[in-house]
Structure 1
Amino acid sequence: METGSLVLLCLALGLIVGAGFVVLLQLAERRGNNAVALLSSSVPDGVDQVIDALGSAGLVIDPSLNVVKASSAAYTFGLVANDLLVHDEIVEMVTRVQRSGEAEEAEVVLARGPFSEASLHLEVRAARLGSRYVLVLADDRTESYRLEETRRDFIANISHELKTPIGAITLLAEALESASDDEAQVRRFAQQMGTEAARLSQITREIIELSRLQATDVLASADRIELDSIVSTAVDHNHVIAKAHDIELAVGGSKRVTVVGDEALLTLALNNLIANAIQYSPDGSRIGIGVHHDAGIAEIAVTDQGIGIPEADLTRVFERFFRVDQARSRNTGGTGLGLSIVKHVVQNHGGDIRAWSQVGHGSTFTIRLPEAPSAVATQGERR
Structure 2
Amino acid sequence: MSETRSPWPAVIGRLAIVLLVFALLGWLVNHLVLGMLVGTTAYLAWNLYNQVLLERWLREGRKLEPPDSRGLWGAIFNGIYRLQKRQRRRRKRLATILQGVRETINAMPDGAVILHDNGEIQWWNGAARDLLSLTWPQDEGQRIDNLLRQPEFGNFIREHHAGASSITVPSPDDDSQMLEIRVIPYGNKQRLMLVRDVSRLYLLERMRRDFVANISHELRTPLTVIHGVSETLSDSVKAKAPDAERPLELIQQQTRRMQRLVEDLLMLSRLETDQKPVERQLLDMPRILSVIVDEARALAQDQGHHIELECDPAVTLYGDESELRSALSNLVFNAVKYTPKNGRILVSWREDAGGARFTVEDNGIGIPAHHLPRLTERFYRVDSGRSSRTGGTGLGLAIVKHVLGRYQANLEVRSEPGKGSTFSCRFPPAVTARRVVSLTGSRSG
* TM-score normalised by length of structure 1: 0.54
Match of 1:204 in 2: 262
Q: Distance in 2 between matches of 1:304 and 1:147?
A: 41
Q: Structure 2 CA distance, aligned partners of 1:222 and 1:341?
A: 20
Instruction: Indicate if the aligned counterparts of 2:314 and 2:434 stay in contact, CA closer than 8 A.
Output: no
Which of residues 378, 385, 388 is equivalent to 1:320?
Answer: 378
Q: In structure 2, the residue corresponding to 1:260 is in which secondary structure?
A: strand
> Distance between the aligned counterparts of 1:200 and 1:296, measured in 2?
41
Matched, 1:56 2:122: no
Q: Give yes or no for the alignment of 1:296 onto 2:354.
A: yes
Aligned-pair identity in percent equals 32
Partner of 2:319: 261
Report the residue type matching 1:299 in the other structure: R
Classify the secondary structure of the residue corresponding to 1:221.
coil
Residue of structure 2 in register with 1:227 after alignment: 285
Higher relative contact order (CA 8 A, sep 6+): 1
For the pair 1:338 / 2:396, whether they are aligned, the reply is yes
Match of 2:306 in 1: 248
Q: Deviations over 1:281-335 (max 9, x none)?
A: 1011111101121332111100111221111110101011111110010111110
Task: Specify the alignment match of 1:347 in structure 2.
Answer: 405
2:367 match: secondary structure: coil
SS at match of 1:319: coil
Write the letter of the residue equivalent to 1:302. V
* Two-structure CA RMSD over aligned residues (Å): 4.6
Q: Does 1:329 align with 2:384?
A: no
Q: Secondary structure at the match of 2:347?
A: strand
Quick check: which has more Rg, 1 or 2?
A: 2
Q: How far apart, in 2, do the equivalents of 1:42 and 1:293 lie?
A: 50
Q: TM-score, normalised by structure 2?
A: 0.47
Alignment of 1:10-25 (within 5 A): none
What displacement does 1:55 show? 6.5
The alpha-carbon distance between structure 1 residues 253 and 139, as it changes in their structure 2 partners (threshold 3 A), is: closer
Report the 3-state secondary structure (helix = DSSP H, G, I; strand = E; otherwise coil) of the residue aligned with 1:315: helix
Determine if contact 2:414/2:423 at 8 Å carries over to the other structure.
Answer: yes
- The offset of 1:210, in angstroms, is 0.6
1:95-244 counterparts in 2 under 5 A? Answer: 183-217=241-275, 219-244=277-302
CA shift at 1:279, angstroms?
Answer: 1.3
Instruction: Tell me how far apart the structure 2 counterparts of residues 357 and 249 of structure 1 sit (CA, whole Å).
Output: 19
CA distance in 1, matches of 2:387, 2:210: 18
Give yes or no for contact 1:219–1:262 (8 Å, CA) kept in 2.
no
Deviation by residue 1:43-69 (Cα, 9 ceiling, x = unmatched): 99xx779959997369xxxxxxxxxxx
CA contact (8 A) 1:250 1:289 kept: yes
CA distance in 1, matches of 2:263, 2:332: 19
- Quote how far apart the aligned CAs of 1:373 are: 4.0
Deviation at 1:151, TM superposition (A): 7.9
Q: How many residues align?
A: 252
Q: Which amino acid aligns with 2:285?
A: L
Given residue 325 of structure 1, which amino acid in structure 2 is its aligned partner?
Answer: D
Alpha-carbon spacing, 1:154–1:289, altered in 2? closer, same or farther (3 Å): farther
Between the aligned partners of 1:199 and 1:246, the Cα distance in structure 2 is 25
